[in-house]
Structure 1
């Protein structure tokens, strides 16, 4: 059933104008709210309108607000104010978003009107719509919302202003300010909603870690080596990890001082890392217990880059494969396991030979599997320190390695360390 059909069905049952209902559903759909949940929200709004006036909306603390609420009032302190442009009903629309807090907790918000909210101020917001966002309630400010500035400042336990570190970021954060160093950049042309668009992607870092970023309007200030202050960025999820998005409303200023960047990735036990659901620039240590099939000298589709079997690509059918080197190693540290994927460069290091060497080896043996066999002999049973990006999905936990270093440790020292780790 299309959104148009849902709007017609809901409008008919409520006895209201279909155009107005459709607009409300499109508003919620823009934020990825499932259609059934969106219809319930719209129905609650109309039920509330029929049962009383906006003045009858009760004021609640943030901790008391649930996804079952329709409209509420709150006394809050503004923690951050972000600004972003989205496409709505075929037109560009500017929204405001961030976080608010009171003594009981904090909550995210989206405002479809410019109420001139400022970070740090304390306000009473009346007649706010509540919607569900990723299982949590979120404040939705619209044309029926009232704003009253309060003279008494709420004392909250959260930082005001939106300043954050990379390690503290989560997908969905908005109105965030960062001091970072630009570590990598790559200019790309993508097919966006307005046709071909030039973007800048790369990696930024601070003393707490590193994350990917995208600048939707490439700026010279975001050059490798520059330390910059980014004000008003929003965070999306990209391949299971937070990604910093620099929008048209983000201000970028080059800093006089250098932002220090962590030399190593964030260290985690494998089990804890997998539980996070994905991490960027992660560092793990463990033993390689196996090398999976599909390692060694492989063939890829020249069109999509996928690994092919017997000259067949799942997408493009029969193709002339292109040789490549890859390793898919199972790393185990006693808390869990992860598949570590090595690219051609790292595979050549553990194979002790390049792609041409692997081709010659396979040709002489008349068996491509000899390359994987030698790699197994070189790394299985050995301890490695691995650095890279972890993704966790229906296919399991996979870490795309940027570093793969064998750990050399005196056997006695290693035994003592292992005994220390397992003692209660």
Structure 2
């Protein structure tokens, strides 16, 4: 007599369990390689779901034939708590079987989150925030033409990009967005509003401005955050160059091939390593963040640009200083960095706090 395999439902997994058998749809699938002293370790992670809900998973191996959107049966996996939430683990004892001819309707569980907590491991979320910087573009598809609204949404924890396909967004509105899709574009975190999303104006108090965060708390490339720490090193690749005012491309001969009549401007590039006692972060600067910090206006920069040594200038004003750096975090080559929008010297209390944190770290 052949035994009947009893499949578990995601909604019923409320504790650490062994020997689970699931039939699920793969909603997102990511691969990551970590280098350490013992070599390289590759693992897979993402979201799976069934008709009762969704859950994050980690797999130490995964069939190459399985793609996002496929239905699979996972045999002999297990569950455990990770950061206070249930997570499914697939190891060498597990078996993943592709079910190419099967369809599975997934019940999406959408959680209201702060923008600081956005992550690709939670592909659909609800958020509340203030809209700003909206620009409209026409988007053509097989279903016709739509207006795409692109800009930013911010709450008291972060500021990220937002895109809405066909559903209007207006500057200054405070909205609740239900069932928004979390994404990353060009290394920046954002959310997008599609056909299954909803937007409602709400009455809420959104405190924006400086959003302090420790480097160790960084989970994803969010924007509009402030990190205070010591500049412990300065890169040697600093330079001054000419850019096109329209496409922002660096120009080799002082003229943009795509926009030959567009005005050009001078910019400065540099980077430094910021340490706050909990970790370190590479910060990139340009003229908009660096010149106000050293109290140099644009005209003075233009007149002195080609006689100054940018490496020495940045090193003199940055190295060893305790700085509060505000900007957007960005994912570059599996490493999060910061594009600084403003730099200022930290106040005395912040300096003491950072020094104390660093001393405790090395005790």
Interval containing the TM-score (normalised by the shorter chain): 0.5 to 0.7
Q: How many residues align?
A: 300
Match of 1:237 among 139, 159, 184: 184
Structure 2 residue 342 is matched with structure 1 residue 400: no
| Deviation of the 1:385 alpha carbon | 0.8
Match of 1:130 among 66, 69, 72: 72
Matches within 5 A, 1:16-415: 58-60=6-8, 62=10, 99=49, 106-107=54-55, 129-130=71-72, 144=102, 162-171=111-120, 173-178=122-127, 180-189=128-137, 193-194=141-142, 197-219=146-168, 222-255=169-202, 257-261=203-207, 263-269=209-215, 273=218, 276=219, 278-293=221-236, 295=238, 297-300=240-243, 304-308=247-251, 322-333=264-275, 336-362=279-305, 367-370=306-309, 373-394=312-333, 397-409=336-348, 413=352
Change in Cα spacing, 1:415 to 1:300, as seen in structure 2 (3 Å) is closer
Is the 2:322–2:351 Cα contact (8 Å) retained in structure 1?
A: no
Q: Structure 2 length normalisation: TM-score? A: 0.63
- For residues 261 and 124 of structure 2, the distance between their equivalents in structure 1, rounded to whole angstroms, comes to 48
Change in Cα spacing, 1:131 to 1:228, as seen in structure 2 (3 Å) is farther
- For residues 120 and 358 of structure 2, the distance between their equivalents in structure 1, rounded to whole angstroms, comes to 39
- For residues 394 and 254 of structure 1, the distance between their equivalents in structure 2, rounded to whole angstroms, comes to 38
What is the Cα-based RMSD across aligned positions, in Å?
4.8
When Rg is computed on C-alpha atoms for both structures, the one with the higher figure is 1
- For residues 221 and 193 of structure 2, the distance between their equivalents in structure 1, rounded to whole angstroms, comes to 22
Is the 2:161–2:190 Cα contact (8 Å) retained in structure 1?
A: yes
Identify the structure with the greater strand proportion: 2
Per-residue deviation, residues 95-130 of structure 1 (Å, max 9, x unmatched): xx995598xx95379xxxxxxxxxxxxxxxxxx931
Structure of greater relative contact order (alpha carbons < 8 Å, 6+ residues apart): 2
Change in Cα spacing, 1:403 to 1:409, as seen in structure 2 (3 Å) is same
Unmatched 5+ stretches in structure 1: 1-51, 75-96, 110-127, 148-158
Change in Cα spacing, 1:377 to 1:415, as seen in structure 2 (3 Å) is same
Q: Structure 1 length normalisation: TM-score? A: 0.55
- For residues 233 and 60 of structure 1, the distance between their equivalents in structure 2, rounded to whole angstroms, comes to 28
- For residues 334 and 71 of structure 2, the distance between their equivalents in structure 1, rounded to whole angstroms, comes to 38
| Deviation of the 1:244 alpha carbon | 1.3
Change in Cα spacing, 1:352 to 1:139, as seen in structure 2 (3 Å) is farther
Q: Could you say what secondary structure the match of 2:224 adopts? A: strand
Change in Cα spacing, 1:139 to 1:199, as seen in structure 2 (3 Å) is farther
Is the 1:286–1:331 Cα contact (8 Å) retained in structure 2?
A: no
Per-residue deviation, residues 60-96 of structure 1 (Å, max 9, x unmatched): 3556688xx8xx558xxxxxxxxxxxxxxxxxxxxxx
Identify the structure with the greater helix proportion: 1
Unmatched 5+ stretches in structure 2: 11-16, 25-46, 58-69, 75-87, 91-95
Is the 2:183–2:192 Cα contact (8 Å) retained in structure 1?
A: yes
Per-residue deviation, residues 313-347 of structure 1 (Å, max 9, x unmatched): 9x98x999933223423133155543322333222
Change in Cα spacing, 1:261 to 1:290, as seen in structure 2 (3 Å) is same
| Deviation of the 1:216 alpha carbon | 1.1
Q: Which residue is 1:25 aligned to?
A: none
- For residues 422 and 259 of structure 1, the distance between their equivalents in structure 2, rounded to whole angstroms, comes to 37
Is the 1:328–1:342 Cα contact (8 Å) retained in structure 2?
A: yes
